[in-house]
Amino acid sequence: MKAHEKEFLDKTKDLKNKFNEIKNDPSFIYNPKKPDGAHLINVRSVGEGHTEIMNAIIVPEWAFNAEFLDEKHETAKIQFENYYADKNESLPQNMWQTPVKFVYDYCSYDYTIGSFSEKLDNYSEDFISYDEALEKFQAYQEDMIKLNELIAEAENKRKNLNSN
C-alpha cells in the first residue's frame, strides 16, 4: 500500500459501501440537492491565492464533472442530453433515475479578494482517476504534516520566550 493510501481508503469507505448498495438498484433516484460524497482535500487561501478541493462523490452515469450540481440544473440537462446523444441512445424519462458511478472530483482555481470580479482565474473542475486522486491526497497530507510541524515549532519558540 502506498503512503497515506489507508487513510485515503478509510475516508471513502462509507461512500463506497453506499455506492455498492445503490449501483444496481434501478429504482434509485439521485437527489442533486443532497449528493453523497466524502471530502478529501479542502485548501482555501485567504486573500490572494490558490484553492483546491477534492471530493469522492456518487454521480449519475451521464455526469462528466460536478458542475451538473448547479442550482438550476442547466448544466445537468446539457450533460444528460450530450451523454445519451453521444451513445445514440434515447433519453431516459427521469434524468435523476439513471445508473450511478463513483468518481473523484477535483477543482482548483485562483482568486484575489477585493478584485470585485466573479471570475475565477485558472478554474478547472474534472473527474480524475483513482491514482491521480491518491497522488493529490498524498501531497496534501505531506503538506499538512509540514504545516503542523511548523505550527508546533512556532508554539515551542513562543513558550520558550514566555518562560524566560
Contact (Cβ atoms closer than 8 angstroms) between residue 56 and residue 40:
yes
- Burial of 54 by CB count in 10 Å (0-12 exposed, 13-18 middle, 19+ buried)? buried
Copy the grid coordinates of residue 80: 444528460
Tally the residues of the chain. 164
| Dist. CA 21–CA 19, nearest whole Å | 5
- pLDDT score at 27: 93
Categorize the per-residue pLDDT at 114 as very low, low, confident or very high, splitting at 50, 70 and 90.
Answer: low
Categorize the per-residue pLDDT at 117 as very low, low, confident or very high, splitting at 50, 70 and 90.
Answer: low
Contact (Cβ atoms closer than 8 angstroms) between residue 98 and residue 81:
no
* 4: alpha, beta or left? (left if phi > 0; alpha if psi -120 to 50): left
Q: Please give the average per-residue pLDDT across 140-164, as a whole number.
A: 85
Distances (CA, A) of 43 to 37, 90, 110, 142, 162: 17, 41, 11, 13, 32
- pLDDT score at 148: 87
pTM (two decimals) = 0.84
| Dist. CA 51–CA 93, nearest whole Å | 38
Helix, strand or coil, per DSSP, at residue 86:
helix
Which of 69-78, 107-116, 135-144 ranks highest by mean pLDDT? 135-144
Of 138, 109, 134, give the one whose Cα is nearest residue 43.
109
